[in-house]
Amino acid sequence: MTRTLLAVIDDDPTGAQAEAGVPLLLEWGEEALRGREAAGAVHLLTNSRALDDGEAYAIVRDAAAAAVAQMPERRIVLRGDSTLRGHLLAEHEAVCDAAFPGRSPVLVLVPALPAAGRVTAGGVHWLERDGRRVPLGETEYAADRVFGYRSSRLLDWAAERSGAQSSSRELR
């Protein structure tokens, strides 16, 4: 059985908290990436969630370019925070520009953190509270001052977060 090797570009450290035996790198120079062949996945923590769109694009592009140059056998995965906060379009474009010039790979949105009651079903992001599901767009997460949103339906959320445009790429 062939194992798929991953380079995970991660915007926030919560994604790696529950993992064991997975290197979590805060820098991705050649020396930092050397010798990682045995790991099935390597997380490159950009902490881009804390940045503005332009800074997020730059750091994610840098991480993706390093992954392509130093770990060409790995698939690149862009992992974002499950509460639908972050820079969806900027980070997706950064990965596309660094790793897939002239192409737009599939973007799969499946936010979930079941331990906290956040799940995705039927294209909608839900929060399970007191035994019932509430669309996440109707919760305090959607009211965030910086990353607020209205829609719980993921395609609508993506359009909303991208300003209802997708630059040269189409959100489907």
**This prediction's pTM:** 0.81
| Domain range summary for the chain, segments of one domain joined by + | 6-161
Distance (Å, whole) CA 25 – CA 33: 8
State pLDDT tens for residues 83-112: 566 788 889 999 999 999 998 888 777 778
State pLDDT tens for residues 31-88: 999 888 889 999 999 988 888 889 999 999 999 999 999 999 999 998 876 556 678 8
**Topology at the third CATH level for domain 6-161:** Rossmann fold (3.40.50)
